[in-house]
Structure 1
Amino acid sequence: MIKVGVVGASGWAGASHLPALAGLAGFEVTAVATTKQATADKAAAAHGVPLAFADAGALAAHPDVDLVVVSVKASKHAEVIRAALKAGKHVLSEWPLGVDAAEADDLAREAADAGVVHAVNLQGYQSPDARYVADLIAAGRIGRLESAVLVASGAPLGGARIAPDLAWTTDPAAGTSLLTIMAGHFLAALDRMAGRLVEVSARLPRPYDRVEVGGTGRTVPNGVPAQVLLHGVLENGATASVAVHGGSGSPDGFLVKLVGSEGTLTVAPTRPGTYMHWTDWDIRVDGERVEVPGDYRTVPFDPAAGPVANVAAVYEEIARSIAEGRPPRPDFHTAAALHRVLAAVERAAESGATEQVH
């Protein structure tokens, strides 16, 4: 039994991590932490968890915690991760791993030195649909991959209006934006299907110097992009074109088109209002629907329920990696590599030139 402590147990964790863990054999949530004891006690009572802390370091040091889940703002990830590493505990961090590529590289090195299992919650890598598409490409179902196109909505980030509880994301120092969060997750799914980017040219339009805070009548300064536009080359030589558009409200879908020498594979959502790393897909090869085999879906959750199924798949991968004594996929090194892709996108947008992914 893997005993789990969740830092940041309200909000996103309450809607994804805790329900996923409740439905999986082999895991037990033994502790939660928030910034205040009262909210930690409330979260613990709501989910039947015995231990509640107002200090992440105390949670990480407790002997009844084997795995620390880091589900706080990105700017606080490093602090909590280092507390877990100091205590010798396995770690699952939310994406992004750090506020920038340099911090992510440091955390990856420190986690490797600590000798613990370190994973990042990029659900696209464990999406059964993404894994099946990757296998179809590898098996030559559409011949040699020649180009990849991805178009997706990153709402509610990047629009002219931002929800009050997300107003802090307009500050680039927060590490949470249309580029880092949304494009990061979508590029991870593309990486899982088609391979990694090795060079990019990009634009990061920022048409709004200030954005409206919805329902408040006030505005806040904005330093983050409203669109992410990039062209690049994958390690296998195929070209890639990616457009992630921001906006208010809910996402309005996504489309992936993978063109090979012998055919075309497309991916679209099975239902509106979902992100590609949260849900199941409508997969077609040359227009014909292709069903994902049942053995790709290993968790006891319906993909229609939202992000819980793919989050649960991440936990299953962590359990396997601990049992088998190997790194999970994706680990901190995978996350650091994705941070380097985003850094290359930022350099390319600033320079107007093609940039290599280091």
Structure 2
Amino acid sequence: MNTSPSPLADLARSGKPIGVGIIGLGAQGSWAERSHLPALRAVPGYELRALSTSSQQSAELSGRKHGVPRAFGTAAELAACDEVDLVVVAVKVPHHRELVETALSAGKSVLCEWPLGNGLAEAEEMARLARGHAVPTAVGLQARSHPALAHLRDLVADGYVGEVLSTTVVGSGGAWGPTVGPADHYVLDAANGATLLTIPFSHALDGLASVLGEPEELRIGLASRRTAAVDTESGRAVPMTAPDQVVASGRLPGGAVVTFHYRGGMSRGTNFRWEINGTEGDLVVTAPVGHPQLSPLTLEGGRGASTGLAPLPVPESYVRVPGLDPRTDAPAYAVAHAYRQFLDDLREGTSAVPDFAHGAARHRGIATALTGA
């Protein structure tokens, strides 16, 4: 996060609530409704004051449903509202750049969902704009804020596995499989920038990097084993140009080997398993689907003379948002902890929550790994 002095940091230190406006908080089961809305309501220090959707009519409907006092039909109106200090951009990826630019131009701090941009060029431009406006920003790479990953990070740092020798991640994307819902055709089109590579794989990569360090010499390969999915409502085939297989390998800063395999759809076997293997022990993270940023995470470990794995409950000291349950509130859980950490960053000048510069660097690293440059 950009930790330079700012009015938002002054506001956070004052103890007064940060006024939030969400672009994309609809009334029909949007991602913002499932994640940002409960997260903000569970974290003291924020006040949801405004929303905007694609029209004034739909905004007013959403405002009534969610009890949000100010409802706008355009993002520009929301960004211009004096009651809004932080703009949250929670819409489809192709609209991120335009809406972020609107908020930054109004002098507002911005939290933008991941992927930051539709491709590297957009992400770098957004990071450049944020630097020019000198406001705090955040990007929605919230897996690293999950209490389970925070505990995992400390276990590794404290030597639970000894020297790390290798780490392996296997995940299923859920989408990009044999079927697609009527509202999800968007993710099948690679041109929209919301793919197996840019969403679950990238979230897992960022979470892994937060625990073990940034992979070096990373190489990513893509394959399209499915070229269509069947719409669950119409039964018709929908073209899929987004690859449904992602494989990657590299090395960690200390020389340990890192490998990933992500596949579309769901498996009857493993849908998320992350192993960390070391000279003294092993750690394993599992989840019901390969999205560590929105799934309940289970942590197990074994070391020394132990020949098996045992549960490793997350200590209460890591739980910063006790009002949410890690399983029943899974989509909001890591998001809420990211909001909590963002407050700490603003108040203390730290930078634990990824900002736009971090987001652009993540895009850049993936682009480089794809080309092998």
Pick closer, same or farther for the CA change 1:141–1:328 going to 2, 3 Å: closer
- Give 1:13 shift: 0.3
State the 1:52 CA deviation: 0.6
Aligned to 1:6: 22
Consecutive unaligned residues in structure 1, runs of 5 or more:
348-354
1:96 to 90, 101, 115: 115
Give the RMSD, CA atoms, in angstroms. 1.9
Q: Deviations over 1:322-341 (max 9, x none)?
A: 22344451111221222123
Q: Which residue of 2 aligns with 1:151?
A: 170
Partner-residue secondary structure (3-state), 2:259: strand
Deviations 1:234-263 (A, max 9, x none): 233211110111116999631111111222
Paired position in structure 2 for 1:236: 254
2:234 is the alignment partner of 1:211: no
TM-score normalised according to structure 1 size: 0.91
1:20 aligned partner: 39
Counterpart pick for 1:303 among 326, 335, 347? 326
* 1:172-205 deviations in Å (ceiling 9; x for gaps): 1101011111111111111112111222233211
Residues in 1 aligned to 2:184 and 2:169: alpha-carbon distance in whole angstroms: 25
The aligned amino acid for 1:92 is L
- Cα deviation, 1:290-326, whole Å, max 9, x if unaligned, reads 2222111110211012121211111112222222344
Q: In structure 2, what is the Cα distance between the partners aligned to 1:255 and 1:73?
A: 28
| TM-score (ref. length: structure 2) | 0.88
Q: Counterpart of 2:237 in 1: which secondary structure?
A: strand
Deviations 1:104-130 (A, max 9, x none): 122112212211110011121101111
Structure 2 residue matching 1:164: 3-state secondary structure: coil
Paired-residue identity, %: 36
CA distance in 2, matches of 1:221, 1:275: 23
Provide the residue aligned with 1:292 in structure 2: 314
- Deviation per CA, 1:135-173, whole angstroms, max 9, x where unpaired? 111122211112110011111x22132211111222211
Q: What is aligned with 2:218?
A: 200
2:65 pairs with 1:46: yes
Which residue matches 1:29? 48
Contact in 1 for aligned 2:18/2:45 (Cα 8 Å): yes
Contact 1:117 1:321 in 2 (8 A): no
Q: How many angstroms apart in 2 are the aligned matches of 1:85 and 1:283?
A: 43
* 1:320 maps to 2:338: no
Query: Which one of the candidate residues 253, 259, 280 is aligned to 2:297?
Result: 280
- Give the Cα separation in 2 of the matches to 1:326 and 1:83: 26
- Count of residues in Structure 1 that have an aligned counterpart in Structure 2: 346
> What does residue 203 of structure 2 align with?
185
Question: Any idea what SS the aligned residue of 1:231 has?
Answer: strand
Match runs of 1:162-177 below 5 Å: 162-177=180-195
Q: Which amino acid aligns with 1:84?
A: A
Secondary structure at the counterpart of residue 116 of structure 2: coil
Q: Give the letter aligned to residue 97 of structure 1.
A: L
Question: Are 1:105 and 2:124 an aligned pair?
Answer: yes
Whole-angstrom distance in 2 between the partners of 1:288 and 1:248: 26
Query: Is there any run of 5+ residues in structure 2 with no aligned partner, and where?
Result: 1-16, 304-308
